[in-house]
Amino acid sequence: MAQTSITEASLSTALKERLKATHVEVTDMSGGCGQAFTSLIVSPEFEGKNSLKRNRLVNAALKEEIANIHAWSAKCQTPDEFSKERAATGSNDGPPLDGTTGGKVDGVDQ
């Protein structure tokens, strides 16, 4: 399989440009090979949309990139939801890391 040129930075840039995202956090959970990513995306484009519609919007925006990686997950919030969550939790956590060990996909040797 060819090495992918998809990176945290390239995905972040694409999301900011294509979804007018105001805040993006992308984490490569594959150990650096660029095959598994999780993300937190904050965009006004999500206003008035439920979770399914938000994820469909992200998947459409990253159609080409997602076709070339193994795993992708996204937490999608509006700017207001993002601000309220941060204020309520006092947290500045990044994207969700469910199913990982230390932020890396189990079984990856990199």
- Tallying the residues shown for the chain, one arrives at 110
pLDDT single digits (tens) 2-16: 445 899 999 999 999
Residue 19 lies in a domain: yes
Parallel/antiparallel/unpaired status of strands 23-28 and 36-42:
antiparallel
The residue to which tokens 């079984």 are assigned: 107
Q: pTM for the full model? A: 0.77
- Could you tell me the CATH number of the domain that includes residue 15? 3.30.300.90
Q: Domain range for residue 54? A: 8-89
The residue to which tokens 């469909």 are assigned: 56
% residues pLDDT > 90 (the chain): 66
Span between the terminal Cα atoms of the chain, in Å: 17
Specify the number of domains making up the chain: 1
Q: Rg of the chain over CA atoms, in angstroms?
A: 14
Instruction: Retrieve residue 96's tokens.
Output: 């969700």
